[in-house]
Chains A and B, each alone.
Chain A
Amino acid sequence: MYGKKVKLRFFFVLLILFILILSVFLILKSLEENVVYFQSPTEIKTLSEIDKKKIRVGGMVKTNSVSVNEKEVKFIITDLKNEINVTYSGAIPNLFSEGKGVVAEGYLKDKNFFLATKILAKHDENYMPPEVKAALEEK
C-alpha cells in the first residue's frame, strides 16, 4: 500500500520520538534522584520525619562553637533562630570561620545532629550563599 520509502520514514520518525521520550524520561528521573535540597536549621526543626537523603544545611558558624581534634571538626550552624550541631571530617575551605556563612552537605542523624560530608568552598570573603542570605533575612 505504502511505498518502502514512506515506511522507512515512518519508522525513522518513530525511532526519533522514542529516543526523545526516553532521554527526557531519563533526565527527569535522574533529576529527581540526584537533586540536593537546601534547608535551614529552622526548617529542619519543623520536619515531621528525618529524611535519609543527602541535604544541604546553611547558616552562620556560631561564634566559639568550633572545636577540632585529629579526626574531625565540630561546630554549630545557626540561622539565629535555631541551631544544629555539625560533625565533619574532611577538608575545610579557607573561608570557613566563626561568624561567617557556611553551607554543609551531608546527612541528618536527628533534628539536632548533622553529619557533614562536604563543606562548600566559597570564593570571597563577602560571599554569602544565596540560600543563607535568604534564611538570615527571613528571620
Chain B
Amino acid sequence: MASLIGFYSLVFGLFFSFLIILFSIKNLRNTNVFNNNLISLTFLQFLFVIISFFGLVISFINSDFSNATVFNHSHTTIPLFYKISGTWGNHEGSLLLWLVVLTLFIFLFLLKSKNQTKQYRILTLLFQQIIIIGFFIFIIKTSNPFDYIFPVPNEGLGLNPILQDPALAIHPPILYLGYVGSSIIFSSTLAATSTNYISKEWAKHIKQWILISWIFLTLGILLGSIWAYYELGWGGFWFWDPVENVSLMPWLALTTLFHCILVLEKRLALTSWIVILSISTFTLSMSGTFLVRSGILNSVHTFANDPDRGLFILIFLFCLIFLSLFVFLFFFKAKNENTYNFFWLSKETSILINNWFMMYFLTVVLVGTVYPIFLEVITSEKISVGPPFYNKLIIPFLVPFLFAMAIGPKLKWIKSDLKNKFNLLFFLIISFFISALIVKKFNVNFLVNTILMTSVFYLFFSTLRDFFISKLKNLAQNVAHFGFSLLILSILLNNIFSSEIIANLKVGDTYETEKFKISFENIKQKKEQNFEVIIGKFNIEFLNGDVETLRPELRIYNQPNIVTSEADIKTNLLKDSFITMNLVQNQNYFNIRYQIKPFMIWIWLSVLLISFGGLKSLFKKKYEN
C-alpha cells in the first residue's frame, strides 16, 4: 500500500514539473511581478516527492517484501534504525533522496530570493526543473524504487552489514545536501548569466548557497572518512580510493568557487571564471554519481551494475554540459575588463593563487581517478593508481599553498603592502625551529618533513596570532584557515608517528615488542538481534606500567552471511589505540592488528573547525575587509 502511494506521488511530482514549467513560461512573458503560485507549486512538488520517500521508508519499516527494493536490501531481523537507513543504502532509495533534496532546495531558494528580479528567479526555477525532470525520468524508467514482486517472498536478502552503522546511516543524506546543493548554484549561475545579472549583489546572494552546500559536503566527507576509519578496519582515514576522490573533487571546486565569489563581491572581477567553476562543481557532482553508479568504479557505493543506468546518467550529463556551455557562450557578457588588472600584492591576487593551486590539486585527483579507466578502455591494461602518486604530486605543492594561505588574508583588496614584515619573518624562524626539532628527534626523512612542517606551523601560528589580535574581526576565515593548518599538522604527525604490529595469535598467546606486550586473554560469544558476535579480550601492557584492555569484535551476520570485524578504539587527546581481529578460515589463529595512531581525534576536530568557519561565515551579516 505504502509502495503504491509512493509510486503514484512520484508520478504526480513529475507532473508538477511540467505544470511549473508551463506557469513559469507564462509568467515570464506576461506580467512583471513574480507569480507567487509558483512557490506553492514547487512546495507541492516537494510534498509529493517527500510523500513518495516516506512511502519507501514505511515499506522498509514494515518489511514489505512485495517491494523489490525492500526485498533486496532488508530483512526482518535488522534493527529498526537500520531498516530506516536502509532506505537510502541502495541505488533506488538514494536517488529518491537526491530528488527530495533537489526539490527542497529549489523551494527554499524561491522563498529566500524574494528581493531578486522576477526574470532571474523564474529562470533559476526553470533550469532546476530541467535537472529535476531528468532525475524523475531516471528514477521512474531505470531505477524505480517501487517495483512489485509476485509471489511475495517471506524474507528479504538483508542489508550489507558494513552499512549497518550509525555514521553511515547519516552520511548519505548529509553528503547529498552538499552534492545536490551545488545544483542550485548551477541553475542560479545559468539564470544569472542569461539575464546578465552576474554582479556584486548576485555574489552576495549566491554566497549563502555556496556556503550551505560547502558545509554539508565537508561534513559528509568527514562522516564517510570516520566510518572508513573504524569500520573497514585499516585504521586509515583516507585511501585515495576513486569513490573518495569523486567526493573530494566537487569539494575542491566548491572551495575555489567560494573564494572567487569573495572577489566578485568586492571587485566585480573573475566573472567568466566563476561561471565556469559553478558549472564544473555541479558537473563534478554528477559525474561522481555517474562513475560510482555505473559500475565503472567498484566499491561499496556501487549498488548495482546496470549499464542502462550508467548510459542514462552519461547522456543526461552531456545534455547538462551542452546546455550550460550554450548559455555561457551565447549569453555571457563580460563586465568591465579593467578590473582584471590585479596588483601583484593584494587580496585578489592571493585568491587567484589559491585558485591555481586548487585547480592543480583538482587536476591531479581527476587524472588519478580517470586515467585507469581510460587506459583500460584504450589498451585493456589494468592498473591502479595508489597513494604514492597523490602524495608525490600534492605534498610539494602544499608548502607554497600553506604559505599563501597564511599571508593572503592579511593583505588588503586592490593594493596592499606587507605590514609587520618582522612578525612574518619571526614566525617563519620559530616554525622552522620547532619543525626541525620535532623531525630531528624522530629520525625521519629530514628535508621533506621539515619544510612541510615549517609551512604548516607557519599557517598555524599566524592564524593563531590573528585570532587574538584582530579581535574576532574576521573570525570565519580565521577559524577555517586555522582548522586547515591543524588538519594538515595532525595528518602529518599521524603519518610520521603511527606504528602498528600485525600478528597471528591463538587464545592465550602473548606478543612482545620493545614498547609493549599484547596478551590475548580470552574470547566470548554472544547472540545479538541479527548477528552472532565473538568478543576478544586483549590486555596491552606498556613499559611504563600502563595497562589497556581492548575488546574487538567479530560479527557473523545471519543475512547476508558475512563476517565483519569491529575495531575497538581507545581515544584520548594524544593518540588512538586501535585493534582489530579476524579469524582465518579453518585455522586456530586470529589475525590481530594493533595500531597506535597519534592525534586521530584532532583530524576529526580540525575538519569540524573548518566547517564551523563556514557556518560562522553563513551567519555573518557582511564581509569585512
User: Which A residues lie at the B interface, using CB under 8 A?
Assistant: 19, 23, 26-27, 30-31, 33-38, 56, 66-73, 89-98, 121, 123-125, 127, 129-131, 134
Contact = CB atoms under 8 A, between A and B. Distances in A.
A30 B394 CA distance: 11
Nearest to A124: B160
A77 B546 CA distance: 43
Contacts of B234: 91, 121
Contacts of B586: 66, 98
Nearest to B368: A31
Interface stretch (B212-220, B258-266, B499-507): B499-507
Contact of B584 (A33, A68, A95): A68
B36 interface: no
Tell me the interface secondary structure of chain B in the complex.
Answer: mixed
A27 B160 CA distance: 37
Contact of A91 (B364, B585, B593): B593
Contacts of A129: 298
B393 interface: yes
30 contacts: A31-B371, A34-B385, A34-B389, A35-B389, A36-B385, A37-B382, A56-B384, A66-B584, A66-B585, A68-B584, A68-B589, A69-B504, A70-B505, A70-B509, A71-B504, A72-B504, A91-B234, A91-B593, A92-B591, A94-B233, A94-B562, A94-B563, A94-B564, A98-B585, A121-B234, A124-B162, A125-B560, A125-B562, A130-B298, A131-B382
A86 to B, nearest CB: 14
B162 A123 contact: yes
B161 to A, nearest CB: 9
A64 to B, nearest CB: 8
A121 B367 CA distance: 23
Contacts, number: 111
B382 A94 contact: no
A82 to B, nearest CB: 17
A98 B504 CA distance: 18
B379 to A, nearest CB: 11
**Which range contains the number of B residues in contact with the other chain?**
35 or more
Given A34-B385, A68-B589, A124-B562, A94 B504 contact: no
Interface of B: 160, 162, 232-234, 298-300, 356, 360, 363-364, 367-368, 371-372, 381-386, 388-389, 392-393, 502-505, 509, 560-565, 580, 582, 584-587, 589, 591, 593
B589 A23 contact: no
A37 B383 CA distance: 4
Contacts of B563: 94-95
Contacts of A72: 504
Contacts of A96: 584-585
B360 A94 contact: no
